[in-house]
Structure 1
Amino acid sequence: METWQKQWLQRIGVYHLVLSFLFMGPFFSILLLFFLFTPLWSLSALYLAWFFLNWDTPNQGGRRLEFMRNWNIWKHLRDYYPIKLVKTAELPPDRNYVLAAHPHGIMGMGTFCNICTEANDFSKHFPGIRAMFAVLHTLFLFPVYRDYVMSLGACSVNRRSLDFVLSQPPSGQAVVIAVGGAQEALYAIPREHHLVLRNRKGFVRLALRHGASLVPMYSFGENDIFHLKVFAPNPRQYLCQMTFKKLTGYSPCIFWGRGLFSADSWGLLPFARPITTVVGRPIPVPQSLRPSEEEVDHYHTLYMQALEKLFEEHKESCGVPASTHLTFM
């Protein structure tokens, strides 16, 4: 009986996150609009006033609430897969960091669990480090959902926001960026490890501007929790895809997992596959307010080498065949 209860609590924890990610923003947008035409119109009016007064908060470090990051529901989410955090080196709190998270996957479940919650005690593994997960600015356009996301330690991924976080005293500030972005989600195929990284250098420029150390972070198993169907790239569909991506920030694809009640049916519940997030060693980066292309290329190459080394050192212990290698695109 106890095992059955644990399994359902774990499923509820995961399903809560999936439904929030997909539907919470549109749901509250429609609800507030609906309230405007009912006797509860004042609730919508008050919230919308708050919304516009706090419009810039995602660009100023967000609004983190530790009690929400410590909810028990995140531990149930962690145990469902399970999700683990592996520390390979210290991150001294006397400097700032840019943590590059790979792969993006469909929802970045490993990165979310380890950075936006305390389910795996990130703050105890790395004392003095205040990590912020930089996500699409689009998410902060949805009422209520924006406050929910910020409370878990998220901020906008644009330059102004990241510069603000890394400029705040004291040291020990860290921004976590899913470098591959929405494009990499199209390669979230089970048991494959394709990263969109060769021409993604903005995170290196950010590190150079602030003298922040670069840290590779890889979540083994991230691509295994959903099945994925990508639309065929004929000219008409390609135009639709690019338009959709430009408007929303998301790459259009179809993904599915298992059913809530049966593993044999299709649904939105991810498959229970182990995810292990390995945080690598920091790469010291000097401060250069106007870095040259040569500097950017040099540290980008160092970063790619460090990430590949991290992958090779930990792949077998994380269930990846020894013959598997990273593919950079």
Structure 2
Amino acid sequence: MIVDRKCQEQGGRSDWIKDWVRNWSLWRHYVNYFPIRLIKTVELDPSKNYIFGSHPHGLLASGTFGALATEGAGASKLFPGFKINVHTLGLNFWFPINREWILGLGGVSASRESISYLLRKPGGMVSVIVVGGAAESMFSSESQVSLVLNKRKGFIKIALQHGAQLVPTFSFGEAHVYNIMNTQEGTWIRNLQEKFRNIVGFAPVLFLGRGMFQYNFGLIPHRKPVNVVVGEPIPVEKTSNPTVEEIEDLHKQYVTALVQLYDKYNPVYGDTNISLNIV
């Protein structure tokens, strides 16, 4: 691990290892459990690089993991000619064995250095970033899906610096595969969660799933469909030193495109009784 400590910052494992691990039959069973589906809405140009913004995080980002971090949903068939890397917390690479299967799937660090390393390559690279991160997992409601996005602009700046096309994606059903206790802002529980998240990078949430042989309580996620819809790319011109105004403008374009994606496909793959809330 000491010798290999920069692997997650420099593209992860070699392609043959990624191809082997991503195609394990285990992932097809995982995807079929929910089930998880990957839906492509437009063709992408493999001569360009892309940042896929993934929403929402939910508890474990199960849809993004199954659809884009593995071949369980046929990602390479839907996006031929692309190399897909899902970015995750650097904390996940601190533990032996755990780091190996994440690296084997093409998982890399969510740091600026790691994202930039991939996007500097000539074309066909897809960096998948779960934009809301751990903070998003603390928002829970049966009537709405909340996205932490208004202050998340680092990925916008990186897209401009490398000329990477921005693609909003939405995992319909992700937010409800677990029952997450909604802790109100200002309460001592919420304050404790926030402090813990600021220290280690993820939030301890109170949740319930189902059991192995019963459906009332347990740690296993509920069997609810998760449909990961990949939207249209937003053209981005390479700007080595983007201004605040350029970042703000592209961020507004991204938010608008994401809302349009939700409004268009929520009646098809989601639930019209659930509204979108961006914070």
TM-score with structure 1 length normalisation?
0.80
**Offset of residue 71 of structure 1:** 1.0
Q: Tell me the secondary structure at the aligned position of residue 177 of structure 1.
A: strand
Q: Note if contact 1:312-1:325 (Cα within 8 Å) is conserved in structure 2.
A: no
One-letter amino acid of the counterpart of residue 173, structure 2: G
Larger CA Rg, structure 1 vs 2: 1
For 2:179, the equivalent position in structure 1 comes to: 227
Once residues 131 and 278 of structure 1 are traced to their aligned partners in structure 2, the CA distance between those partners, rounded to angstroms, is 16
Q: Aligned pair 1:242/2:185, yes or no?
A: no
Distance 1:304 1:239, change over 3 A: closer
Counterparts of residues 296-315 of structure 1 (less than 5 Å): 296-315=247-266
Q: 220, 228, 231: which one pairs with 1:280?
A: 231
**Offset of residue 242 of structure 1:** 3.3
Q: Aligned pair 1:328/2:270, yes or no?
A: no
For 1:62, the equivalent position in structure 2 comes to: 12
Q: What runs of 5+ residues in structure 1 fail to find an aligned partner? A: 1-50
Decide which moves more: 213-222 or 59-68. Answer: 59-68
Q: CA offsets, 1:267-312, max 9 Å, x none?
A: 0111111110000000110001110011001111111111111111
Q: Aligned pair 1:162/2:115, yes or no?
A: yes
Q: 80, 92, 106: which one pairs with 1:139?
A: 92
Q: Tell me the secondary structure at the aligned position of residue 86 of structure 1.
A: strand
One-letter amino acid of the counterpart of residue 251, structure 1: A
- Aligned residue pairs total 276
TM-score with structure 2 length normalisation?
0.94
Once residues 315 and 237 of structure 1 are traced to their aligned partners in structure 2, the CA distance between those partners, rounded to angstroms, is 32
Q: Aligned pair 1:52/2:5, yes or no?
A: no
Q: Note if contact 1:221-1:273 (Cα within 8 Å) is conserved in structure 2.
A: yes
Q: After TM superposition, what 4+ stretches of structure 1 lie above 4 angstroms from structure 2?
A: 230-239
Q: Note if contact 2:141-2:182 (Cα within 8 Å) is conserved in structure 1.
A: no
Q: CA offsets, 1:154-176, max 9 Å, x none?
A: 100011111111112x3111100
Counterparts of residues 193-208 of structure 1 (less than 5 Å): 193-208=145-160
Measured on the aligned residues, the alpha-carbon RMSD in Å equals: 1.5
For 2:163, the equivalent position in structure 1 comes to: 211
Once residues 77 and 239 of structure 1 are traced to their aligned partners in structure 2, the CA distance between those partners, rounded to angstroms, is 34
Which has more helix, going by share of residues? 1
Identity across the alignment (%): 37
Q: Tell me the secondary structure at the aligned position of residue 253 of structure 1.
A: coil
**Offset of residue 192 of structure 1:** 2.2
Q: What runs of 5+ residues in structure 2 fail to find an aligned partner? A: none
Counterparts of residues 42-191 of structure 1 (less than 5 Å): 51-63=1-13, 64-168=17-121, 170-191=122-143
Once residues 188 and 56 of structure 2 are traced to their aligned partners in structure 1, the CA distance between those partners, rounded to angstroms, is 28
Q: Note if contact 1:191-1:221 (Cα within 8 Å) is conserved in structure 2.
A: no
Once residues 85 and 236 of structure 2 are traced to their aligned partners in structure 1, the CA distance between those partners, rounded to angstroms, is 20
For 2:206, the equivalent position in structure 1 comes to: 254
One-letter amino acid of the counterpart of residue 116, structure 2: D
One-letter amino acid of the counterpart of residue 273, structure 1: K
Once residues 254 and 324 of structure 1 are traced to their aligned partners in structure 2, the CA distance between those partners, rounded to angstroms, is 22
